[in-house]
Amino acid sequence: MDLSEKMFELVRLWRESGLSQREFCKQHQIGVAKLGYWVGKEKQSVNGVGFLELSTLHSTPSIGYEVVYPNGVKVSYQGNDLTILSQLIRLY
Whether 57 and 39 share a structural domain: no
Instruction: Assign residue 72 a region (left: φ > 0; alpha: ψ between -120 and 50; beta: otherwise).
Output: left
Over residues 72-84, the mean pLDDT reads: 79
| Total count of domains within the chain | 2
Give the CA distances from residue 24 to residues 8, 45, 77, in Å, rounded to whole numbers and listed in that order: 14, 22, 38
Which percentage of the chain shows pLDDT scores above 70? 78
Segments forming the whole domain that contains residue 21: 3-46
- Residue 91: pLDDT over 50: yes
Whether 38 and 7 share a structural domain: yes
pLDDT for the residue 46: 65
Whether 8 and 42 share a structural domain: yes
Instruction: To the nearest 10°, report the CA torsion of 38, 40, 47, 60.
Output: -170
Whether 58 and 82 share a structural domain: yes
Report pLDDT digits (tens) over 20-64: 999 999 999 999 999 999 888 887 776 555 555 666 555 554 567
Whether 33 and 60 share a structural domain: no
Average pLDDT along the chain = 79
Whether 41 and 58 share a structural domain: no
pTM check: above 0.85: no
Whether 38 and 66 share a structural domain: no
Give the CA distances from residue 5 to residues 2, 15, 38, 42, 66, in Å, rounded to whole numbers and listed in that order: 5, 15, 10, 10, 33
